[in-house]
Every structure is written in structure tokens, then in C-alpha cells.
Structure 1
Amino acid sequence: MKILKTLSRLAVRIPLLIWSIIVIFPLVWMFIGAFKTNAEIFASPWGLPEKFNFYNFVAAWTDYQIGTAFVNSLFVTILGTVLCLVFSIPTAYALERLRFKGSEILLNSYLASMMIPAVLGWIPLFFLLLKLNMLDNLWALSLIYAVSHIPFTIFILISFMGNVPKELEEAATMDGMSQYGILLKIVTPLVKSGIITASILNAISFWNEYFMALILLQQDSKNTLGVAMDLLKTNAQYESAWGVMFAGLCIAVIPVIIFYTIFQRHIVKGMTEGAIK
């Protein structure tokens, strides 16, 4: 029996270990390449640099405007995440608790919109923002990010709000608390895990987004990290700035890795609780 248990564990762990190496190795290679000169990259692409220096990071941050793009991405990510919560929390509560005529149709419409490819709305959205004089605007991009993720956020929050005891809301109503007070002071704290989970997933999605920023932003000073990295990749091909490109990738990837490492327990906890509920 012990041998069978050991073999079964190995059968699960060995593929996971191999997959982990496949995923982690490119990241390690990218990080090492960020400290190499172009000569070292061509001479020894898999070896360690002779000397660790931060020239590539400085060049990527200043010469290739990765620093400006980093700030822009940080802005649209934070603002988009906050706006998405502001729109989604009351909507999810209304659909879950305040049953009204057409609420089921509205909820199903939100959920069905998750199945529609986003690419179908890019051209109409471009001309809409053009008429509203909102192209090349980070505030407008943040709003679009927020609105595009409302259905997904509602889908997560409803599963949590449905498990909040109605007796708590009834007691608060008897004490004279308004519907908004119940939402903000009772329901919202009790669904904190769902809010954190949705916020983290949305933030990572906004940080990595590329196509919407490419279409709706025109000035280089407004570019987000995805667009800036695409330009840096193009320049690297013609200027042999491979070390700088690796450094730019590190700048774009490391915050996501750190962010996910810190909050991974909240993500797993939130998704598990949501699935159970």
C-alpha cells in the first residue's frame, strides 16, 4: 500500500514539477538577460552575466519611456478597479436581494455578455469616443476597463451576497437603517473575500491589457505598458537592444508576480468560497 501511495503521489507531483520548470525557466532567463550587455547575450545566451549592472533598466525606464508607461498603467489599473467595484457592488446587491420585474432577465443579460467577444465592440467604441472627444484619454480608458468587467465582477459578487443571512438585513431595517446603509455597513464587509478576489483578478487583467490601449491611445506619452513594450520589442529588433527589452519585461512582469504572491491566498480563498456558495 505504501508503494502504491508513493507512486500515486509521484504520478501527480512529477508532471507538476516539470510544468513548473517549463513556466519558471523563461522568467529566470529573462531576469538574467536584463543584466547582460548585447555582446553577452549573443555570446552566451544561457550563461550568467559577467557583472550585474542596471544600465538596461535605466535605459528602458527613461530612453524608451517605460517609466511613463508604468505610471499610466498603474493609474488606469487602480482607477478601473475602483470604478468597477463602485458600479458592480450596488448592481450585484440589487439583482440578488431586491427582486423586481425583469431582474432575472437583466442578470442573464449581464452573464450572457461575458460570452460576447470584446473585439466586436472595438470599432463602434472607437467612433463613439471620437464623437465624444474622449480618444487618447486615460480616464476614458479606465472607465472602459471598468465597464467591460462589470459582468464578471457581478458574477463573482452575487455568489457571495446570496449567502448573507437575510435576517441581518431585516434586523437592520427594523433599526431604521436605509438600504444603502445595509449595503455599505452590513453586506459589503461580509462579502469582503469576493470583493478582494474580483479586485485582484480585474487589476491583473487591466495591467496586462494591450489591444484597447493600442486602439484608443494615440500619443506615446499616454501609452500603457503593453503598448510601450510592443514598441520596445520593435526597436530591439533594429537597434539590438535585447538587454533593454528584457529589462522592460522585468519591469512589467515583476509587479504582477509580487502582487499575485502577496494576495494568492485571498484569490484561492475567494474562488473556493464562491464555488461552495
Structure 2
Amino acid sequence: MELRTTRATGTTMDSPNRKLVRRGLSGLGKLILIGYAVFTLYPLYWLFISAFKTNEDFFKRPYALPLVWMKENIFRAWELGGMGRAMLNSTFVTLSSVVLTLAFGLLAGYVLSRFQFKFKKVAVALFMAGLLIPIHSTLVPLFLMMKQMNLLNTYGALILPYTAFELPIAIFLAMGYMASIPKEVEEAAMIDGNGWWGIFGRIIVPLCTPIVATISILAFLRFWNDFSFALVFINSQELKTLPLSLALFSDGFGTDYSLTMGAMAIAVIPTILVYLILQDQIMKGMVAGSIKG
């Protein structure tokens, strides 16, 4: 009886200790996450404070707040880099490429995930092989093709390659997500009189909002920040994109860091806004297809 009482007493005495341990582990986990967040966001903070510094202040006090907040850096970078026109070009090229990527990627993903047909595995393998192709190794062949097709110095010279190289990952993500959608949903839609196009447009696409957001942000980041394709395929000042505008502040003799940081701060704002708008859907899309049904 004494042994049982001791054991029972020990059990009741251990429970508060366990709660303290759990709270300590939970607090430690939160501290680690906060530290990781600070570590991740610090480069962004550094970019924005550097955008308002003089070149002298940038080198002498790289991590401190500006002695004098040079708002003129932003306006000078906007004017000298022609960033207004460049931002319009980047916006048009990026949005057009994202729309085409979503259209073809969702259609291909739907067919490959929901239908059985001959050579389906071959088609999937060919699309997935696109993930293995080094993008920059195709610059020379693409340049020759664009020249023969008279597409150099046009929006199409960027939109078409962007869409083609982003489709494999878009199809891969769409296939994985659509495979998790119960087929009973399609059967119910057919009973209501919907055809395949009606099912795709009215049922499947609305259910794919998380993966659409994920594909969109991945494609947006790649297209918005691309430098190599724009440098090779675009020579006209009227069609230059934001990455090309940023390159104007650096030459073989030196770099104007105050203007470069100001221009980079302008260029990064649309990316931040897009991510903030789509962040909830992106988190859902990251676990897309992990649970069926």
C-alpha cells in the first residue's frame, strides 16, 4: 500500500514538472523561430536603410541607420534608370508569362492526373525531363531561333521562353494537387449536366486556388528577377526590364551604391506585395497533395 501511494504521489508530483518542461520547449521553439525570422528579414532591412545613405555613409557605417536620410536616392534612381518604363515592361512580361503558365500548366496537369490514355507515362516523363534542362545552356540556341523568327527585341522573346521553362514545375505541382481531389466531385458535376470543360472551369480550378497561388509566386519571382534572358534577347531601351535598369548603375569603373540600393528597393517592393497577398494560399499549396480526400 505504501509503495502504491508513493508511486501515485510521484506521478502527481511529476505532472507539474512535465508542464514546465513542455512550456520551456515551447518557449525555446518560439525563440528559435523569432531568431530565424530576424536572420531572414535582416537583409531586407539592410537594403532599405542603405537605399537612403550616401556612398560615404554606406561604406563607413554599413549596418547603422543613415546619418542623413537621402530621399533623393529613390527619385534619382527612378529617373536615371528609366525605372517607370522598365517597371511597366517587367509587369507586362511577368503577368503575361504567369497567365500562360497557369493556363497551360493547369490544363496539362488536369489531363495527366485525371485521365488514363496510351503513352501517358511517356508524356509525364517528357514534361518532367524539362526540370533537368539547365536554362542558361539554351541561350545560344534560343537566340538563333528568335533571330530566325524575328522575335528579338519583342515582348515575345521573353514571354515564350519564360512560359516554356516554367511549365514543367507548374505541371508537376498541378498534377500532385489535382490527384488529391476526390473523383466523386467530378461525377456529381456530370450528373448536374457539366461537360469536361465545365468541370475543369467551374469545379477543378476553384478548388486549386492554393496551388495556383504557389505556381504564381514561383513563376513571378523567376520572371521578375530574370536578367540573362532579358540581356541576351532585348537590346531596345524601350523594352528593357527592371534587372537591366539596375545594371545601368554599375559599369567597369565603379558602382554608385546609393543609387543601386535605391533602385533595388524600388524593384523589390512588388515582390513583397505579391507575397503578402498570396501568403495564405501559398502555405496551403506547400502541403498540397500530402493528404488525400
Give TM-score scaled by structure 2 length. Answer: 0.84
Pair 1:146-2:163 in alignment: yes
Match of 2:187 among 153, 156, 170: 170
- Corresponding residue for 2:238? 221
Give the unaligned 5+ runs of structure 2: 1-17
- Corresponding residue for 2:54? 37
- Corresponding residue for 1:119? 136
- Corresponding residue for 1:101? 118
> Residue 35 of structure 1 contacts residue 243 of structure 1 at CA under 8 Å; is this kept in 2?
yes
> Cα distance, 1:135 vs. partner?
1.0
Relative to structure 1, the CA distance from residue 36 to residue 107 in structure 2 (aligned partners, 3 Å threshold; closer, same or farther) is same
Q: For the residues of structure 1 that align with 2:176 and 2:89, how far apart are their CA atoms?
A: 33
> Cα distance, 1:131 vs. partner?
0.5
Relative to structure 1, the CA distance from residue 165 to residue 17 in structure 2 (aligned partners, 3 Å threshold; closer, same or farther) is closer
Give the unaligned 5+ runs of structure 1: none
> Cα distance, 1:28 vs. partner?
1.7
> Residue 52 of structure 2 contacts residue 66 of structure 2 at CA under 8 Å; is this kept in 1?
yes
Q: For the residues of structure 1 that align with 2:28 and 2:194, how far apart are their CA atoms?
A: 57
- Corresponding residue for 1:63? 80
> Cα distance, 1:177 vs. partner?
2.7
> Cα distance, 1:129 vs. partner?
0.8
Q: For the residues of structure 1 that align with 2:64 and 2:157, how far apart are their CA atoms?
A: 45
Runs of 4+ in 1 over 6 A off after TM superposition: none
Any idea what the Cα deviations from partners look like across 1:219-277, whole Å, max 9, x if unmatched? 23322222222332338x63x62211110110111221232123222111111133334
Q: Which one has a bigger Cα radius of gyration?
A: 2
> Cα distance, 1:24 vs. partner?
2.5
Any idea what the Cα deviations from partners look like across 1:35-86, whole Å, max 9, x if unmatched? 1223433443333334434211111111122222222111111110001111
> Residue 34 of structure 1 contacts residue 244 of structure 1 at CA under 8 Å; is this kept in 2?
yes
Residues 122-201 of structure 1 aligned to structure 2 (within 5 Å): 122-201=139-218
- Corresponding residue for 1:86? 103
SS in 1 for 2:290: helix
* Code of the aligned partner of 2:213: I
Q: For the residues of structure 2 that align with 1:220 and 1:191, how far apart are their CA atoms?
A: 39
Q: For the residues of structure 1 that align with 2:35 and 2:181, how far apart are their CA atoms?
A: 42
Q: For the residues of structure 2 that align with 1:3 and 1:216, how far apart are their CA atoms?
A: 62
- Corresponding residue for 2:14? none
> Residue 96 of structure 1 contacts residue 162 of structure 1 at CA under 8 Å; is this kept in 2?
yes
Pair 1:28-2:55 in alignment: no
Q: For the residues of structure 2 that align with 1:100 and 1:150, how far apart are their CA atoms?
A: 21
Relative to structure 1, the CA distance from residue 123 to residue 63 in structure 2 (aligned partners, 3 Å threshold; closer, same or farther) is same
> Cα distance, 1:3 vs. partner?
5.7
Structure 1 stretch 18-27 or stretch 176-185: which is displaced more? 18-27
Q: For the residues of structure 2 that align with 1:171 and 1:15, how far apart are their CA atoms?
A: 47
* Code of the aligned partner of 1:252: A
> Cα distance, 1:106 vs. partner?
0.2
Give TM-score scaled by structure 1 length. Answer: 0.88
* Code of the aligned partner of 1:129: M
Relative to structure 1, the CA distance from residue 161 to residue 44 in structure 2 (aligned partners, 3 Å threshold; closer, same or farther) is closer
Q: For the residues of structure 1 that align with 2:281 and 2:178, how far apart are their CA atoms?
A: 17
* Code of the aligned partner of 1:271: M
SS in 2 for 1:234: coil
Pair 1:248-2:234 in alignment: no
CA RMSD in angstroms, aligned pairs only: 2.3
Q: For the residues of structure 1 that align with 2:251 and 2:282, how far apart are their CA atoms?
A: 35
- Corresponding residue for 2:3? none
- Corresponding residue for 2:224? 207
> Cα distance, 1:103 vs. partner?
1.3
- Corresponding residue for 1:270? 285
How many residues align? The count is 275
